[in-house]
Amino acid sequence: MDDNYSQWYNNLVVKAGLAENSAVRGCMVIKPYGYAIWEKMQAALDKMFKETGHENAYFPLFIPKSFFSKEAHHVEGFAKECAVVTHYRLKNDPDGKGVIVDPDARLEEELIVRPTSETIIWNTYKNWIHSYRDLPILCNQWANVVRWEMRTRLFLRTAEFLWQEGHTAHATREEALAEAEKMIGVYEKFATEWMALPVVVGHKSENERFAGAEDTLTIEALMQDGKALQSGTSHFLAQNFAKAFDVTFTNKEGKQEYVWATSWGVSTRLMGALIMAHSDNNGLVLPPKLAPIQVVLIPIYKGEEELKAITERLDDIAASLRAAGLSVKIDDRDNVRSGFKFAEYELKGVPVRLAMGPRDMQNGTIELVRRDTLEKEFVPQEGLTERVVSLMDDIQQNIYKKALDFRNSMITKVDTYDEFKKALEEKGGFISAHWDGTVETEERIKEETKATIRCIPIDAEPEEGKCILTGKPSHRRVLFAIAY
């Protein structure tokens, strides 16, 4: 992990059975254990979306090429690196070598595999919205999207990825702004409470804004190597897409107005954040709320008879744990040693491991190891379920606290460009600095140091200062970092 963070990450993703590269360049296979974590994320987020009044829907995978040209910024940001469908049929190769694209089956207009769905959705909303009574529309979709990335990394940057994208339509600017803020709040809450991941909420600079947005809110997390990871965004799109797709409504006064919009999304990238924020050299460290297996039970035995007696007792314990709402696995495989099993569940980040041998049977005890600290203790079997249930909370809190302490220790205030470069090089993490607010300055800093403005924190205190690069006046600090 310390030697080669990038290699460590990739090995961990593969060895823990989360995902792997596929035969298709840039596309990953999400393996059952990884997908089980993603499903838990989806379930928690979906519930939060519904509790805030949103409904799910589904829009087409393909977008006509011409749709991208309708919003000028959007086409620059998205239409370039994308998968283009040009034909709709294959035929047998006349040379007998498999199949070839049938040149007679060329599409009149090429279709783009959606990199994001604003265009096709606003083209649809045009038919749904006529009066203020049709507003707001609060839709979300769970979908796959494709962006043709040249350098891909499992979960963090893949050509195809899974995500949700919310697309809402409102009668007023204020309502749309409030929606964009509400949803970044939902993401913050999810990151904090479920992923045990502390995040900074802030506005993106113009440079880093979503293509087509008037404002982009972001949650930024810090990985253990000191790099930042943008983990979710919520965009105030103003009337840009309504104008591009001519979506108007009759307001209460009977006048025609363009509709106001937001969009917001998180993706399987969150898996990368989860892995990089908490794991160690032994493997994954999963917060109990997202762990597919929360408790694993392992019998330590010699011979059939011991195994039978211990397994019976473990079955009872498992039943009690399950009745308390925990997800439990008993691993009684006889072809691998218990040491191998211990290592495997450490690798997989199972929050609590319980092991029972013949002496425990006699003593009424059980060996308990928590994954976050790797502390081992022998505890009484009596009251075990209550102990484990309460330990789940402890572990969830402890993982969060550890990540929060680390993150807080990695925010460095600097006042000069030299300090800035030194901090970036020697320590990494977030650098809190003054900036003159211009795109040019941000770009020059990026060129010279690779650091970008991760966000202008929403709780940034007003503070007069001078831009670290240009010395021009600045009214608050912003957070820089080198980012994934």
The answer to whether residue 139 forms part of the interface with a second copy (CB under 8 A) is: yes
Helix or strand or coil: residue 167? strand
Q: Which is nearer to a second copy, 79 or 211 (CB)?
A: 79
The answer to whether the CB of 368 falls within 8 A of the CB of 377 is yes
Binding segment for a second copy (CB under 8 A), chosen from 15-23, 388-396, 450-458, 465-473, is: 15-23
The answer to whether residue 146 forms part of the interface with a second copy (CB under 8 A) is: yes
Sole binder of a second copy in the list 48, 112, 286, 295 (CB under 8 A): 112
The answer to whether residue 11 forms part of the interface with a second copy (CB under 8 A) is: no
Strand ranges inside 147-291, DSSP E: 160-170, 200-203, 215-222, 228-238, 248-250, 256-258, 260-267
Residue ranges of alpha helices (H) inside 295-383 are 303-323, 338-347, 358-363
Spatial neighbors of 392 by CB under 8 A, at least 6 apart, are: 288, 294, 326, 351, 352
What's the CA gap between 419 and 425, in Å, rounded? 10
Residue 445 CB, nearest approach to a second copy (Å): 29
Please give the helix or strand (H or E) that residue 281 lies within, else none. Answer: none
Per-residue string for binding with a second copy, 154-193, x by CB under 8 A?
A: ------x-x-------------------------------
Residue 251 CB, nearest approach to a second copy (Å): 15
What's the CA gap between 443 and 379, in Å, rounded? 57
With CB under 8 A, what is the number of residues at the site for a second copy? 63
Sole binder of a second copy in the list 2, 3, 6, 23 (CB under 8 A): 23
The answer to whether residue 113 forms part of the interface with a second copy (CB under 8 A) is: yes
Per-residue string for binding with a second copy, 335-364, x by CB under 8 A?
A: x-----------------------------
Asked whether the CA dihedral 210, 216, 219, 222 is positive or negative, the reply is: positive
Q: Which is nearer to a second copy, 99 or 374 (CB)?
A: 99
What's the CA gap between 50 and 368, in Å, rounded? 38
Q: Which is nearer to a second copy, 158 or 385 (CB)?
A: 158
Residue 274 CB, nearest approach to a second copy (Å): 17
Q: Which is nearer to a second copy, 24 or 319 (CB)?
A: 24
Phi and psi angles of residue 306, each rounded to the nearest 5 degrees, phi first: -60, -45
Binding segment for a second copy (CB under 8 A), chosen from 137-145, 187-195, 295-303, 339-347, is: 137-145
Alpha carbon separation from 413 to 44, 54, 102, 165, 472 (Å, rounded) = 35, 40, 61, 35, 18
Sole binder of a second copy in the list 1, 44, 83, 347 (CB under 8 A): 83
The answer to whether residue 330 forms part of the interface with a second copy (CB under 8 A) is: no
Residue 292 CB, nearest approach to a second copy (Å): 9
Helix or strand or coil: residue 391? helix
* Two tokens, residue 457: 């924190």
Q: Which is nearer to a second copy, 99 or 439 (CB)?
A: 99
Per-residue string for binding with a second copy, 30-69, x by CB under 8 A?
A: xxx--xx-xx---------------xxxxxxxxxxxxxxx
Asked whether the CA dihedral 39, 43, 48, 53 is positive or negative, the reply is: positive
Binding segment for a second copy (CB under 8 A), chosen from 93-101, 183-191, 254-262, 274-282, is: 93-101
What's the CA gap between 362 and 439, in Å, rounded? 71
- Residue 82 one-letter amino acid: C
The answer to whether residue 325 forms part of the interface with a second copy (CB under 8 A) is: no
Q: Which is nearer to a second copy, 350 or 423 (CB)?
A: 350
For residue 383, is it left (φ>0), alpha (ψ between -120 and 50) or beta?
Answer: left
Residue 160 CB, nearest approach to a second copy (Å): 5
For residue 140, is it left (φ>0), alpha (ψ between -120 and 50) or beta?
Answer: beta
Nearest to 431 by CA among 200, 156, 212, 260: 200
Residue ranges of alpha helices (H) inside 382-416 are 384-409
The answer to whether residue 84 forms part of the interface with a second copy (CB under 8 A) is: yes
The answer to whether residue 133 forms part of the interface with a second copy (CB under 8 A) is: yes
Q: Which is nearer to a second copy, 282 or 338 (CB)?
A: 338
Buried/exposed code over 150-188 (b: 16+ C-beta within 10 A; e: otherwise): eebbbbbbbbbbbbbbbbbbbbeeebbbebbbebbbbbb
Contacts with a second copy by CB under 8 A lie at 20, 22-24, 27-32, 35-36, 38-39, 55-69, 75, 79-91, 98-99, 101, 110-113, 120, 123-124, 127, 133, 139, 143-144, 146, 148, 160, 162, 335
